[in-house]
Amino acid sequence: MKNESVKAKLRFIGVVEQIAEQEGTIRLLPQFCLGLKGIEAFSHIIILYWAHLRDKKRERNTLLVFPRRHEVKVETGVFACRSPTRPNPIGLCVVELIRVEECSLTVKGLDAFEGTPVIDIKPYIPRADSVPNAKAPEWTLRGPPT
């Protein structure tokens, strides 16, 4: 593959500061606070984060997993599930935006741990992010949200 040696530089923009009950707090680094302008107009946002607790050589080389938190045990490729064990441990979560205070976001439904580095934040836009009649394997239809 021609692009195997291409390197990218990933910059974390913030960190998950607190998880309590169903709410979590994300604090952005000061140099990224201006990027939050207008975010309060959205009810939901997408959080991309680095699953740092899974950033181990063994887990980054794993390509087949049994997705947890589902009623059925099905061996699946990491690209066909939301397992945090993957070549690049990038997590994605759609959360409800509760409050914005300066460089801090309070959200509901975040599936990350305290201390988790945040890669990016994007607004959830129903017209673009919801796909009517999307198809998925039956095993994904039961279990908690991912």
What token pair was written down for 60? 């980054």
In CATH, the architecture of 11-51+89-124 is Beta Barrel (2.40)
- Angstrom distance (rounded) from CA 47 to CA 120: 6
**In the chain, what are the domain boundaries?**
11-51+89-124, 57-86
User: Does residue 28 surpass a pLDDT of 80?
Assistant: yes
Query: Within its chain, how far is the Cα of 118 from the centroid?
Result: 8
Q: pLDDT tens-digit profile of 50-75?
A: 999 888 899 899 999 887 766 667 89
Contacts of 53 (CB under 8 A, 6+ apart): 84, 113, 116
**pTM for the model:** 0.87
User: Which pLDDT value is given to residue 146?
Assistant: 59
User: Please, what is the average pLDDT of the chain?
Assistant: 90
Integer Cα distance of 13 and 37 in angstroms: 15
Give the pair of three-digit tokens for residue 23: 């709410």
Alpha-carbon torsion, ordered 35, 36, 42, 43, to 10 deg: 130
R_g of the chain, CA atoms, integer Å? 17
Which amino acid belongs to residue 29?
A: L
Q: Which residue has the higher pLDDT, 74 or 13?
A: 13
CA distances from 16 to 13, 44, 50, 77, 84 (A): 10, 17, 10, 28, 16
pLDDT, tens digit, for every residue of 78-108?
A: 999 888 889 999 999 999 999 999 999 999 9
